[in-house]
Structure 1
Amino acid sequence: MAEQAHILVVEDDPATLALLSAFLKEAGYAVSTAATAEAMRQAMARAAVDLILLDLNLPDADGVQLAVSVRRQSRVPIIMVTARAQPRDRITGLELGADDYVTKPFHPRELVARVRNVLGRMAPRAEASGSVLYRFSGWEMDLLWRKLVSPQGETITMTATEFDLLAVLVARAGQPLTRDQLLEATGEPGRDVNDRSIDTLVSRIRRKLGDTRGSGPRLIETCHGHGYRFSGEVQTA
């Protein structure tokens, strides 16, 4: 996938744009560039994009809101690239659907490595399980297109980390998984996941599944002193 992936670099600084484009092309990626939000929309309309590198300080739009707009329509991975280095900015970006968050200044090769890692996570994990579609409690989880669809037919917005964590739990339904096992499954280099954040991720996934206390038997059970277990009945296709 790496040699064929199409990367859209959205950056209003010409020097940074040229540098990123050169490094990505050297790594074997097809690259399109855009210096504004409008140019980004036009580029996405012209051709399918496999990943977006998105600067948050664009002249015609706020990058965070632009990412939200993209996420409502697409699961294309987004790596935010910005000078906004405050922890709250990073947390907000990740919570709103970014797959990674890189602060300036950065080493171009590190950014290329992060691109490679995010794209690698997009490859369906079906190879190990032999299945690309899970159904449970009226939900449908498509590993190939990385979509989670509710019983009402609504596509649920998830970050890449949330999706991967849920996929691991569902693929091993009924088996208690430790936090270390979940970290190993979702904590690739460059991904901001740690032991404590596993609990936060599970909490967010539960909310998106409506899997809250008082809503009936939990789909994701807490195994006290151990980790988590997916307890729903899963069908594969």
Structure 2
Amino acid sequence: MNPLSVFCLYMGILLLACTPARADVGALNELAGMDTERFRWAEPQAAHVYGVPIHWREFSSSAALFSTAQKLAGHGDRFQRVIAYNNSVLLTGIRADWHWLAEIQQRAGGAHGRVSILQISPKKLEHLLQKRSGQAFPWLSKSARLRFSQESEVDGRRVMQQVYGASLSAGDFTAYLQRHLRSSGWQHEAQMAWWPRAEVWRRASSSLLVASLPMGPDSAVFLQHIE
């Protein structure tokens, strides 16, 4: 796996783990009414990756690992396969155009885990993949190519996070972005101490985090836009 793919994979995992969003997840909410004496469910969360919706809910259970897995597996319309490994159980299945995944792990006093659903409509996925080369930011270099995109809503604000690759060095790409951000009315606010290549920009109520990373003679850039 090349460095850019590793970077995109890392950022994707990080973003999905850290960015909650409001969503209508009626099917997941049905599970929250199951065995309320032993199960406790967190609030539903959601995100979009390349426009594909992903919804999930975390839970804890006072029941043992396999009893917890058995209870969830009773929903055969959602889960059709079981995989057990290293004190963990995975349940997977297909319902309509959604892939269901339950990740269950053993812990002291019971079990905990997460149930997630991913939309897998073939026509929609094909359409989204064909559009993924598009750019959300007009001030980006035309040489930039979209590698990862995720959109969600946090506290009522739209958050877009993307990773681009470019056939420019990290320094040249950063200089290009700085010139075009300033000409678009963005104000440089701060340099991130924890990441020397990261900068924060603001325009009115919008904020933008820009972080570049060298990839040999080329570069990758991570953008987080909050509006």
Higher strand share: 2
Point out the structure with max Rg over C-alpha: 2
Asked if these proteins are the same fold (TM beyond 0.5), I'd say no
Query: TM (normalized to structure 2)?
Result: 0.30
Higher helix share: 1
Query: TM (normalized to structure 1)?
Result: 0.29
